[in-house]
Structure 1
């Protein structure tokens, strides 16, 4: 965990205290440099994994945690869930390269304060940090547009499964193991196991093989790797 010294002689309101969580050192350093240009913000620490982030939040009590989705061992969404449960006063702003619906939907289910893409401008990032600190939910404009388009065109239900469960089921149909699914979807293995258990229960089957057969038979997924579209 990298620590940053906090300046104490700034006039006016206390700066917003930020923790940066990303597994790439270059991204962490670049984000810190960007945020440090604003006197109302201060980066109090940085972490390269979920475990480091939990320790950092406990020690530093940041106001806002910038969390990447793709982290080693513990995904950013799993970390977000843990942070919100253990440190509710710290707002979580997801800063991710992924604009896929499944990631965004799960982040919203977890209860993060905002979801911003790494393509955001410096001003958009600073504005987002201030907004979530003030209790305003932030959703990247590009992500918001994709969600609107999906809502207008997508079927209301796919076999009673959530979008993320449907994605897991599709990968099961392609012969992926839990570990492979976890890597591909940037999730923890235990999280994938939980999704698989939910899928089996909802479909009323006892095994992964039965789940795939049921899904193909009822056209929830196709063996060629494409979700049902009709």
Structure 2
């Protein structure tokens, strides 16, 4: 028998937190290793419980779920991140995935869908609840045909939009700094964008998640 999927839940609404926990605890193949009300507490607890999947509410005080994604990616790279939200905002969705989340589900989905999302993400896949998937597909469908950038340029763009330096991008993609500079010039020329902030806005507005998955 395989080991249960270890899940850590983080939501600042006690009713939501306990509701999800009580539901998941009825499944034999899922082990809830913690249920906490802040991203800071989730990060601290995750260090000792080593969860396979972390369910993060996006809208939390102090440290938001989106900001926590980056910290989890740095400190617990093996943990898979599943975002919880009441909003099917394209900006939230694309930003969450760009930062490294593996899935995004709405809080009003069925128990069965929550479990499916956990199973899929734990197995290394990506999961978006139906309403979220529709939002992404609408945007991707419009942009794929019109996307002027090559796959490598998209990868460089995503890293630059996350605030990485040319040197950081070069190390991550295993290319020279000069090559990164060339890509950067080409990207700005193709998109007609002069600033890094403008590139970040472009990434979010266009739901560019493919190159960063």
Separation in structure 1 between the aligned mates of residue 137 and residue 197 of structure 2, nearest angstrom: 28
> Does 2:143 align with 1:128?
no
> Does 2:52 align with 1:63?
yes
Separation in structure 2 between the aligned mates of residue 203 and residue 112 of structure 1, nearest angstrom: 22
Aligned ranges 1:199-210 → 2 under 5 Å? 201=195
TM-score (norm 2): 0.66
The CA deviation string for residues 21-45 of structure 1, in whole angstroms up to 9 with x for no partner, is: 0001111100001101110001111
SS at the partner of 2:92? helix
Higher helix share: 2
Aligned to 1:88: 77
1:40/1:73 CA distance change after superposition, 3 Å:
same
Aligned to 1:111: 100
Separation in structure 2 between the aligned mates of residue 134 and residue 203 of structure 1, nearest angstrom: 35
Which structure 1 residue ranges, 5 or more long, are not aligned? Answer: 1-11, 166-198, 205-230
Which structure 2 residue ranges, 5 or more long, are not aligned? Answer: 149-157, 162-192, 199-213
Q: How far did 1:72 drift? A: 1.0
Q: How far did 1:200 drift? A: 9.5
SS at the partner of 1:52? helix
Aligned to 1:39: 28
Aligned to 2:4: 15
Separation in structure 2 between the aligned mates of residue 17 and residue 124 of structure 1, nearest angstrom: 17
Which structure's CA Rg is the greater one? 1
Q: How far did 1:156 drift? A: 6.8
SS at the partner of 2:67? helix
Aligned to 1:27: 16
The CA deviation string for residues 85-139 of structure 1, in whole angstroms up to 9 with x for no partner, is: 1101111111111110000010110111111111211001001101111111111
Separation in structure 1 between the aligned mates of residue 36 and residue 9 of structure 2, nearest angstrom: 6
What count of residue pairs does the alignment treat as equivalent?
A: 157
